[in-house]
Structure 1
Amino acid sequence: MSRVIHIDQSPSAIEALCAKHMFRMSTVEPLLSGGSRVVLLDPRDAEALRVIMKHKLILGEVKRSPSHIARQLPPNGSRR
């Protein structure tokens, strides 16, 4: 179960909704393709948010800002 959700809402609207339902977020960022990407800390919260926002979910590919920090291994595949 993924903790990442793409929603057709502004980051501030998502933050307010998560606060209302006491869902703990890791991060929320606006998407270049519209909407927001939210990462919740608990997969159960993520599933509950998917149910609440079922008509606003973005399915398929999204375009993220190039300024986001991706957690990836260095090119040689080793950890530092």
Structure 2
Amino acid sequence: MSRAMNLKLPEATVRKRCTEGGVTISAIEPLPSGGTHLVCMTGTGAETMRGLLSDHLITGIVKRFPFFRA
């Protein structure tokens, strides 16, 4: 399973929820259409976040910014 997911939540909310869930973030970036692209450090962490944020997952293809650097 992928460690990456796209969420219909602002970055600050995603960071807070990851901290609350004890999940370490590998990469995080905003999406052009709104929302956040999240990559967790482990597959287990990603599964945890998918469970916690299942109502906020974006399905399908999502456009991302080219060459985004935080």
TM-score by length of 1: 0.80
Unaligned segments of structure 2, at least 5 residues: none
The separation in 2 between residues aligned to 1:65 and 1:10, in whole angstroms, is 16
Aligned pair count reads: 69
Q: What SS is found at the alignment partner of 2:38?
A: strand
Please list every run of at least 4 consecutive aligned residues from structure 1 whose deviation after the TM superposition is greater than 6 angstroms.
none
Unaligned segments of structure 1, at least 5 residues: 70-80
1:35 and 2:31 aligned = no
Structure holding more helix per residue: 2
Q: CA deviation at 1:6?
A: 0.5
1:37-56 alignment runs, 5 A limit? 37-56=37-56
Matching residue's letter, 2:45: D
